[in-house]
Amino acid sequence: MKNNVLKVTFLGTGTSQGIPIIGSDHPVCLSDNPKDKRLRVSALLEWEDYTYVIDCGPDFRQQMLANNVKKIDGIVYTHEHNDHVIGLDDIRPFYFRQGNISIYCHERVLKNLKHRFQYVFETENKYPGAPTLDTHIINDDPFTLGNKKVIPMNVYHPELQVYGFRFGDFAYVTDAKIIPQKELDKLKGVKTLVLNALRKEEHISHLNLEQAIDVVNYLKPEKAYFTHLSHHMGFHDEVEKELPEGIHLAYDNLQIEV
């Protein structure tokens, strides 16, 4: 891979239940278009010899197999909701080959992971098949992944703090309902923006389509991709035609370079 080129793979672009929803007869859930089938939201970031995953939800194993991922340098967590963390145990094949896996998260998220995955964090009489993690606490200060500076930003879902991340000209923000102005300012000048847009109707804890477009129009990136999409957004191909120039619906396994 060329130096300084960041390849982003959308591992999943769906909301917490994924699409199709179990037992649903909604037309989008019955669609034959692969772009209407969405795993839980996650992204793979690759540059030079580095590979990182943003969030590790219940579809993590399937996502790693679908994209033939051989190694990861770490997982970066936005927040602790189930659809973003519950796939942690499936890092074991990477651990068996590579050794300890690094995770990066808010202190609150780490506390939550220790509660859910107690056997992973045990230090005495640890089960031999459990992975071992190198933990890195994220605060509001920039940090480094590989050789890239990462700027975290606080967004709210609607009251729960969630981290978005800026990697140079690329930024990834999911599960946001409120983005304070000082955090929005951290996104100024970004060229490629990934942002959640749950559906067209108002929602209590996510930006809807109109609100997400307003954020894009304010920041004016060259390109924007919407993720964390519900079946209520509508059919991918139909909504894509309605979007302003430079704005797209992301879909599973879409790859972009920035």
Number of domains in the chain: 1
In a domain, 1, yes or no: no
Location of structure tokens 């990462």: 150
Do residues 175 and 204 lie in contact, with contact meaning Cβ atoms separated by under 8 Å? no
Q: Residue 243: what residue type?
A: L
Task: Please give the chain's pLDDT, 258 residues, in tens.
Answer: 556 799 999 999 999 999 999 999 999 999 999 999 999 999 999 999 999 999 999 999 999 999 999 999 999 999 999 999 999 999 999 999 999 999 999 999 999 999 999 999 998 889 889 999 999 999 999 999 999 999 999 999 999 999 999 999 999 999 999 999 999 999 999 999 999 999 999 999 999 999 999 999 999 999 999 999 999 999 999 999 999 999 999 999 999 999
- Most distant pair of Cα atoms in the chain: their distance: 57
Could you tell me where the beta strands, DSSP code E, fall in 168-228? 170-173, 192-196, 223-227
Q: How many CB atoms lie within 10 A of CB 16?
A: 16
Residues 168, 170, 173, 178: what is their CA dihedral angle, to the nearest 10 degrees?
Answer: 70
Domain of residue 140, residue span: 7-257
In a domain, 197, yes or no: yes
Task: Give the β-pairing of 74-76 and 101-105.
Answer: parallel
Could you tell me where the beta strands, DSSP code E, fall in 112-189? 133-137, 143-145, 148-156, 161-167, 170-173
In a domain, 115, yes or no: yes
CATH code assigned at 11: 3.60.15.10
In a domain, 2, yes or no: no
Question: Within 13 Å of residue 140, how many CA atoms lie on the same side as its CB?
Answer: 7
Q: How many CB atoms lie within 10 A of CB 124?
A: 4
pLDDT at 54: 98
Straight-line distance from the first to the last Cα atom of the chain, in angstroms, rounded to the nearest whole number: 12
